[in-house]
Structure 1
Amino acid sequence: MSLSGFTAPIWLLFLIVVAALAIGYVFAQRWKKRHTMRFTNMDLLEKVAPTRPGVARHVPIVLLLVGLLTFTIAAAAPTQDKRVPRNRATVILVLDVSLSMEATDVKPSRLAVAQEAAKDFADGLTPGINLGLVAFAGTASVLVSPTTDRAATKAAIDHIKLSERTATGEGIYSGLQSIETLGQVIGGAEAPPPARIVLMSDGKQTVPDDKDTSNPRHAFVAAREAKAKGVPISTISFGTSYGTVEIPNDSGGTDTVKVPVDDDSLREIAKLSGGEFYTASSLEELTAVYDTLEQQIGFEITRGDASRLWFLLSGLFTAAGLAVALLVRQRLP
């Protein structure tokens, strides 16, 4: 533990006293041994001290010194990181509901798995977090405004309807608008509550054209806007590279269309916004990603006092030193 981990590091100077006592004890033992060996009559020495003290005689002093050491650390008020549940934060779950979610490369389907994992994610968030839900295909819709009512969010997830095309940028902008609206409603605080967007998509943006990165509605532009507003986007690329869906054609039949995941775009969105990028191709992997996000979003790390344990250790070592002294030497050090 570095000095930055103490709130009263001046007390660490007492370690000099502890070290001096240890050195003094060592010199005292050597001085005592030197004067004992001045006896020239060894027979007389054996009669005066028939049993020489063993190593055990040092144990009480060692324990007491360790007690002083731990007391010094406690007095310096050490701190440690503590995970505290967030009671003031906003998370917007932005889900891709384009037709590619019908793909069955993830059994039973991408949509079914995404719905199950999203509901588990909602249940796992700490109660004080406001959770909102945005669904996007060719357009984006706010299905649930940020709220602590998890039942509303899960009900909306169950009733998701798929649609054509993929407007990832619109999904991000809708999420940002929900966050801004909640901030205006709450008001009165010195700063808006921390917020994050969790974006799950399984394919490439089609509206506007994915290659038109200068379009103001493009996902990359939206990601930069999120960065400017201090809202990181955690992206999840969900699915496999071999997913396919059946799309009706003009002749009355269907065409098999490949719908591979688009890791590159989602990775770039996360990077531009200051968020993290994840991949998942099964319920287990998607659940693991959401579990990771729950730990990151649901808790904040604060510095808390950690001196109690050191005080307890100090008392334990001191008491042990005194007890051993009475048992071994029949007197206190």
Structure 2
Amino acid sequence: MIFRNPYLLTLLLPVVVLFFFARANSEKRLFNLKISTVPPQYRNLKLALFETLPFYMRLLALILAVFALARPQQILRDEIPPTEGVDIMLTLDTSPSMVALDFEPRNRMDAARDTAKDFIAKRQNDRIGLVVFGGVAVLSCPLTLDYKTLTDFLNTTTMGMTRSDGTAIGDAIATAVNHIKDSKAKSKIIILLTDGNSNVGTIADPVAAAKLARQFDIKIYTIGAAKKGESKYPTGNPYQPYAMVKDELNEATLMEVAKTTGGEFYRATNFVELQNIYARINELEKTRFQAKHFVHYTDLYNYFLIPALLLLVLVFILEKTVFLTVP
């Protein structure tokens, strides 16, 4: 227990002085008592009781009132346990080649979207955003803790949504950097998923964009999502529904991007491998925050004020009844 206004406890000093003064003069103080027919052996005891009890009851009420004024409080401590958290910008390729069917029964786009949603569902206390890119890069969702809204954006992510052909990996990295660089998080990462080679964009060299990320202590994990060799690609032609397309993934560039920023490169040739890659990143990227303590105070003055008031009421009643005359 603590007192919010401890300086008011000094009011107890005059109370103590009053107590000793009253005690020293108790034999000289006489109340308006009538001589009773009580035998002498009991008269002194009852006179002393009726003479002093109201005084001590008032004195106790005064002491309790002083404690109430000092505002006693109980300390209640709340603690938020340590949490894990980083700022993450998912950067997803939506170029036309992402509909290739080497992640059967899913295409690359569906596999990337589903694994990203699973990754989000496993994170806690992280701000996560989304950048999509084809021939241009666009911020789809800024960093947020609202995972439902982020997932809704992912659900609407489709091939060709940027309305620009090509694969602008350098621009995608730069866009992600621009929207995460001012973060105060201890750890900032970009997870870049693509199936191709950077062939358009303002920043032609993705490694140059990676060096920019490094200046802001941003780590980039790169994921190449494509089977080696040829993959089946839907043509939309009912007479020839599929064509075989050659793998154009530039592993060397993606490796260099990851290496430049202290990240890692992964290649996924099927859906299970892609799931395992996200699980690996999920384990690698955890930053421990210190527990936060919050202190709450509960007022206890009622436990002193109410008894003080009851004592005063009791004294008033007794003086109007029992203490009115000496038996």
TM range (shorter): 0.5 to 0.7
Counterpart residue identity of residue 197, structure 1: I
2:173 maps to what in 1? 172
The aligned residue for residue 67 of structure 1 is none
How far residue 226 of structure 1 moved from its aligned partner, in angstroms, is 0.7
Residue of 78, 92, 101 corresponding to 2:89: 92
Preserved contact between residue 91 and residue 198 of structure 1 (Cα < 8 Å): yes
Name the structure 2 match of 1:266: 254
Distance 2:242 2:104 in 1: 21
Are 1:207 and 2:194 counterparts? no
* CA apart distance, 1:257: 3.6
Note the C-alpha offset of 1:298.
3.1
Q: Distance in 1 between matches of 2:271 and 2:232?
A: 18
Paired residue secondary structure (1:243): strand
Contact 2:232 2:243 in 1 (8 A): no
What is the SS of the residue equivalent to 1:101?
helix
Corresponding residue of 2:276: 288
- Cα displacement (A) at 1:222: 0.2
SS state of the match for residue 135, structure 1? Answer: strand
Match of 2:132 in 1: 135
Aligned to 1:223, which of 210, 217, 230?
210
Give the Cα–Cα distance (whole angstroms) in 2 for the partners of residues 289 and 201 of structure 1.
Answer: 14
Q: Distance in 1 between matches of 2:146 and 2:219?
A: 23
**In structure 2, which of residues 78, 81, 103 is the aligned counterpart of residue 106 of structure 1?**
103
Task: Specify the code of the residue in structure 1 equivalent to 2:210.
Answer: A
After TM superposition, the score normalised by the length of structure 1 is 0.55
Amino acid at match of 2:143: P
- Partners of 2:167 and 2:139 lie apart in 1 by 16
Equivalent pair of 1:121/1:290 in contact (CA under 8 Å): yes
Deviation at 1:245, TM superposition (A): 2.9
Write the letter of the residue equivalent to 1:273. Answer: T
Task: Give how far 1:254 is off.
Answer: 8.8
Change (3 A) 1:192 1:129: closer
**Paired residue type of 2:206:** A
1:203 aligned partner, one-letter code: G
Residue 294 of structure 1: SS of its match in structure 2? helix
Q: Does the aligned pair in 2 maintain the 1:234–1:277 contact within 8 Å? A: yes
* Percent of matched pairs sharing the same residue: 28
Q: Which amino acid aligns with 1:160?
A: T
Amino acid of the structure 2 residue aligned with 1:177: N
Q: Which runs of 5+ in 1 are unaligned?
A: 1-83, 184-190, 209-214, 303-333
Matched position secondary structure for 2:180: helix
Structure 1 outlier segments of 4+, above 6 Å? none
Distance 1:301-1:153 versus aligned 2 partners, 3 A rule: closer
Question: Hey, which of these two has a bigger chunk of helix by percent?
Answer: 1
User: How has the CA–CA distance of structure 1 residues 130 and 140 changed in structure 2, closer, same or farther, with 3 Å as cutoff?
Assistant: same
> Which amino acid in structure 2 is aligned with residue 200 of structure 1?
L
Matches within 5 A, 1:305-320: none
Shift of 1:247: 5.8
CA RMSD of superposed structures (Å): 2.7
Could you tell me which amino acid in structure 2 is paired with residue 270 of structure 1? Answer: A
- Determine the C-alpha separation between the residues in 1 that align with 2:104 and 2:185: 40
| Residues 87-143 of structure 1: CA deviation (Å, up to 9, x unaligned) | 4x21000011111111001112111111110100111112x1100000010001111
| TM-score normalized by the length of structure 2 | 0.56
Tell whether the 8 Å contact from 2:128 to 2:143 is kept in structure 1 after alignment: yes
Distance 1:167 1:113 in 2: 21
In the TM superposition, what is the alpha-carbon distance from 1:299 to its structure 2 partner?
Answer: 4.2
Return the alpha-carbon distance in structure 2 between the equivalents of residues 167 and 138 of structure 1.
5
8 Å contact from structure 2 (residues 137, 172) kept in 1? yes
Residue 145 of structure 1 and its aligned partner are, at CA, apart by: 0.3
Report the count of equivalent residues: 202
- Structure whose CA Rg is larger: 2
Q: Per-residue displacement from partner, 1:192-246 (whole Å, max 9, x unpaired)?
A: 54211011111111114xxxxxx74421100111111110101111111222435
Matched-pair contact (CA < 8 Å) for 1:243–1:260: no
Distance 1:268 1:247, change over 3 A: farther
1:147 counterpart residue number: 144
Amino acid at match of 2:188: A
Tell me the residue number matched to 1:320: none
